[in-house]
Structure 1
Amino acid sequence: MESSDQVCSNMEEHNFQDWTVRYRSSHILPSKCTDNCKSGNTECTFCRYNHELNLTHLPEMVFPNNILQLVHKSGCSVEFNAFDALKLVKSENMNVKISCAETWKRAREDTGLVERTVGDFDWTFQTNYKGTFSNLDVHDSEVGIDMEKLRQKEEILLYRNLTLFEDELHDNGIAVCSVRIRVMPSGFFILLRYFLRVDNVIIVVNDSRIYHDFTTDYIILETAQRENKVSDLRVPIGVMNEPDEVTPLLALKSSKCQKLVIPKCDL
């Protein structure tokens, strides 16, 4: 029997070449346990998130049933979900908070958000989540995604955009993790993005771009971390509010390219 927080989902399944794409979207995580879970029994999603994630509290909006999954006929898979993204929110991700804490505190002394910087908790929920990969052989690579090929006009067979979690930082900015997929006749392209904007303080973007050409036996994964203080960005506020517009303007802090080799199918 499904728990109450697993119903009312929008579910789709599509087949492209050797891949099955599964997409599911649903409502946000409830604010309390709705299944009267008891210790030792199977937990509902709310209890699992609260018991298994090492977080003082969760983002304002978590979408536990928003899942994008791609399964190859060989058995390997690529998946994106909120739980795995939030597992990477740890105290070691406090650099954004510490580097601008005094400026941020002075600008926000009259809000309740200042108290959330105390201790080891990263109130920005910064995550370096790249996706959840299974049965793929990963190698570092110097060959990146052919962006010129991606810019070529092709029929869009499938396009979906999912939010995994979001927090408005008590109206002092936004932290959001989302994933979107585009499938063309030649392959698929996925953008997983964590976007942070603390008003008047800083903008951070962690991107994972994933591309697969259906004629190849590998997936290309490109990751990039970008960051700028707001005071260093000479752009209109409207641009800062649009991740797609502001991301190319941010300073690149680190990047990496990897090749994910798809296993051969048994004959």
Structure 2
Amino acid sequence: MASVPDARTVKSKPPEIKEFEFGPWKMMTCKSHILESEGDQRKRYDNQLELPQLPEMVFPENILRVVHESGPGIEFNALDALALVNAHADPVKVAASTEWQNARSNCEHIKNVVAPFDWTFTTDYKGTLLKKDPSAQFKVSDTTEQIDLDKLRRQEPIHFYDDVLLFEDELSDNGTSIMNVKVRVMPSCFFILMRLFCRVDDVLIRVNDTRIYHEAGENYMLREFSSREEKTSNIPTAAHTDPNEVSKYLKLTKQTIERLEFHQPSPDS
């Protein structure tokens, strides 16, 4: 089992902040200490979330934020992600039934938690749209347009890259649940991938992906969300710990594609 960093030691380190400008976009990443067991940040999480317990490692100040000069922006953070975890029911138990009972018979989550909740910390979080100025927000609409993966595969120099961890839990040594968000900026576009990778040993593997793509010069971004899942018995063992490799064995259970439009100022404005 991986050791959890001592929050008191880690907190003494200053946050690692990176900033980058891509045309009219300003990007910022922040990586800092884990959530302490007490204090103002902990109270905020306890007050705003209904979860009976939190992941072993939560990074309350870790953020990826992307803001357009005309006002709209999107941010990725742990608090908003965990707010979408089911705090009142245990869908994995329902979905896996007998398999779940057998595989989880010695799990401390089942013994110690009176109120059922989604102990896998699965969330359909797709990012937080910033709403500081009501007149400058993304116009969100469903679309059939998909991210052009061929463009992403083109060999282009990477001007900016970062990988931000939001939370992680080892599910009482019965698997793993980890959520992180990556950003990559090339000369022609930027691409964001936020992934929740959840593996419940001997039961299932689930991957929730949010992909955001923006091509320079366009007045919109594409946001694709997908949820994939499969029983571990149907997946080669060698792929169980590799989120990239395992995805091809998972069944698509949910998908949404959205167009996030924004005002593109004219050169004369």
Q: TM-score, normalised by structure 2?
A: 0.88
Contact 1:84 1:129 in 2 (8 A): yes
**2:52 is equivalent to residue 60 of structure 1:** no
Cα distance in 2 between the residues matched to 1:93 and 1:76: 35
- Alpha carbon RMSD of aligned pairs, Å? 1.9
Cα distance in 2 between the residues matched to 1:6 and 1:102: 46
- The residue that corresponds to 2:204 in the other structure is 202
Q: Which amino acid aligns with 2:234?
A: D
Q: 1:117 to 1:246 in 2, by over 3 A?
A: farther
- The residue that corresponds to 1:84 in the other structure is 80
Deviation (angstroms), 1:90: 1.8
Match of 1:96 among 85, 89, 92: 92
- The residue that corresponds to 2:133 in the other structure is none
Contact 2:221 2:259 in 1 (8 A): yes
2:218 is paired with a residue whose SS is: coil
* Count of matched residue pairs: 252
1:88 is paired with a residue whose SS is: coil
Deviation (angstroms), 1:86: 0.6
Q: 1:103 to 1:118 in 2, by over 3 A?
A: farther
**2:256 is equivalent to residue 263 of structure 1:** no
Deviation (angstroms), 1:6: 9.3
**2:109 is equivalent to residue 113 of structure 1:** yes
Contact 1:116 1:123 in 2 (8 A): no
2:195 is paired with a residue whose SS is: strand
Match of 1:224 among 216, 223, 226: 226
Q: 1:111 to 1:55 in 2, by over 3 A?
A: closer
- The residue that corresponds to 1:74 in the other structure is 70
Deviation (angstroms), 1:116: 5.5
**2:248 is equivalent to residue 248 of structure 1:** yes
In structure 2, the gaps of 5 or more residues are: 1-9, 131-136
Q: 1:103 to 1:117 in 2, by over 3 A?
A: farther
Q: 1:214 to 1:153 in 2, by over 3 A?
A: same
Map 1:153-192; keep pairs closer than 5 Å: 153-192=155-194
Cα distance in 2 between the residues matched to 1:31 and 1:238: 36
Cα distance in 2 between the residues matched to 1:248 and 1:178: 20
Cα distance in 2 between the residues matched to 1:259 and 1:212: 10
Cα distance in 2 between the residues matched to 1:123 and 1:47: 20
- The residue that corresponds to 2:18 in the other structure is 12
Cα distance in 2 between the residues matched to 1:76 and 1:180: 20
Deviation (angstroms), 1:78: 1.1
Deviation (angstroms), 1:12: 1.5
- The residue that corresponds to 2:4 in the other structure is none
Cα distance in 1 between the residues matched to 2:11 and 2:204: 35
Deviation (angstroms), 1:118: 5.1
Deviation (angstroms), 1:107: 2.3
- The residue that corresponds to 1:32 in the other structure is 38
Q: 1:60 to 1:231 in 2, by over 3 A?
A: same
Contact 2:209 2:225 in 1 (8 A): yes
Contact 1:5 1:45 in 2 (8 A): no
Superposed CA offset, 1:200-223 (max 9, x none): 100111111100001200000111
- The residue that corresponds to 1:23 in the other structure is 29
Q: Which amino acid aligns with 1:15?
A: E
Cα distance in 1 between the residues matched to 2:162 and 2:112: 34
